[in-house]
Amino acid sequence: MVADFASLAGVRGLAEQVRLDFPQGIDVLINNAGVYEQSLEKSQDGLELTWAVNVAAPFLLTSLLLGAVRRRVVNVASVSAASSIDFDNLQQERGYSAHGAYSLSKLADILFTYEVADRLKTAGSPVTCNCLDPGTVNTKMLLAGWGPIGMHIQPLAAPRGTGAAQPFHAAVVCCTASATGSKDANDEYHVATDPALDAVSSAYFVGSRQARSPAVSYDKAVQRRLWGVLEEQTGARWDA
């Protein structure tokens, strides 16, 4: 499956296709798509492109697929996540910096991860939501923008210890032109499937180990303020 993550309509179409193709649901949603834009660009919906692809798109997609996810949501963050957030300059209109835009987007991913986890817990859902810093990975994004962005649903071997006989379906949202390293993939697989993490939610991982994310990411008021902004930007409505 392929979709344009610079388009909210494209994200909605992708979610609809996943639900049609997998009416039984999916086990895991891994939000791993991302861009690093050297100059200020706008998405089809008028959002700064890095923000649109790295934050608004996974936020909307998660809201649309959350009812279909049976086990886990994993958002991929970055060691480059910012340590602060300026709500008056989310769209980078006061002087664009490629690193600044990317770092802000990764902090936003952590913030909305924690809010999703809290909402799932409050709703009594068994689904968990965590985020992951895979470290520095050799991808084309480090050198330039990425190519077509999409999703593939891949059958994986059932996680050890689950006793599951059926294939384990993970929705991996990625950039098809990227060249991720094996360590990155192993870390994501660990957070997405390790039975030892069944009850772990609202956690931040560096590689395969739990760690602390930037201090501001634990601020509930900041999490909720960002949530409101993203709901307004995307039109997302949440079941949890």
Please state, in angstroms and rounded to a whole number, the distance separating the CA atoms of residues 70 and 63: 14
Active site (annotated) includes residue 189: no
Active-site entry in 102, 114, 189, 204: 102
Residues belonging to the active site: 102
